[in-house]
Amino acid sequence: MDTADQETEPRRRGGPFRFFGEVRAEARKVTWATRQEVTVSSIMVFIMAVVAAVFFFLVDSIAGGLIRWILGIG
């Protein structure tokens, strides 16, 4: 009977040097974005942030104007 509490292989302990060595090995396996990809992505994020800011500013201004008009305080 196989239970979740049983481990199939014993845990291996290692020190900080082993840990950072494994981190470094895994970091080498990562496919990093090129400078051009990062630049294009950053520009797109900036543009979308500006578009979202303008959209929410307009919605807030319109909603605020409507509320002031309804309440008669504007």
Question: Is the pLDDT confidence value at 66 over 60?
Answer: yes
Residue 51 token pair: 């578009």
- In order of 2, 11, 24, 25, 44, the CA distances from 17 in angstroms are 34, 17, 11, 12, 40
Q: pLDDT tens digit string along 1-30? A: 555 556 566 666 778 899 999 999 999 999
Question: Is the pLDDT confidence value at 60 over 60?
Answer: yes
Sequence-distant (6+) residues with CB within 8 A of 68 are 74
Domains of the chain by residue range: 34-74
